[in-house]
Amino acid sequence: MKKQKEEKKKKSLTREILEWILTIVVAIAIALPIRAFGFELVRVDGESMDNTLANGEIMFVTKYDYASTWLSFPWQDDESKEKATRITTGGNRQRFDVVICRYPGRGDTNFVKRVVGLPGDTIEIRDGYLYINGDRYEEPYISDEYRSGRLNTFGPYTVPAGEYFVMGDHRNNSNDSRSQGAISRDMIIGHVRTVLYPFSGVRGIE
């Protein structure tokens, strides 16, 4: 009788473990497509998007409108990640969208920037002000104090076909297309929509 109870207990424990493993596998199977093609939460790291986004804030990033999913694994090196197959979905990026993107040579490191130049645009910065195809854009989201410094004279630069010019809103403290060059469509992996955390700072992003 005692042996039967021990065997029953052992079978019960084995079944419980298998159920937990199955639950985890199912959860991952559901979560991965959502993260790849639906939406994702991304943490801001750095100050290059001040004052639009602050370091440490958590953003809601959509993928269903446009995205590029890299079919790579976290343990791969940067070179392998960049050679991985990419699935690009969705419509066109709009000028001034805030996006999550990547740069050549940086693996799957995420950057948050603003799309300012579309394919074929000529981009120039004079005295901290953005000119697109010769027209000046005021960009109300840029603080005047961020318009000074050596980074605020640039161009003219014509964005190649199929590529996009991105910049941070903290114009004198941003690693962006002024140094990296324009990025291809499959380097844009999501569209920043909302700040969800901290709760006191919940807001939409324009």
How far apart, in whole angstroms, are the C-alpha atoms of residue 18 and residue 20?
5
How far apart, in whole angstroms, are the C-alpha atoms of residue 107 and residue 126?
32
Active-site residue identified among 63, 81, 113, 174: 113
Contact yes or no for 63/190 (Cβ under 8 A):
yes
Which residues are paired to 33 by β-bridges? Answer: none
Cα 152-153-156 angle, rounded to 5 deg:
130
Active-site residue identified among 48, 68, 72, 174: 48
Neighbouring CB atoms inside 10 A of 124's CB total 16
Return the exposure string of 175-199: e unless at least 16 CB atoms fall within 10 Å of the residue's CB, then b.
bbbbebebbbbebbbbbbbebeeee
177 is annotated as an active-site residue? no
Contact yes or no for 102/108 (Cβ under 8 A):
yes
Q: What tokens were used for 22? A: 């199955």
68 is annotated as an active-site residue? no
Three-state DSSP state, 73? coil
Contact yes or no for 102/111 (Cβ under 8 A):
yes
Where in the sequence numbering do the catalytic residues fall?
48, 113
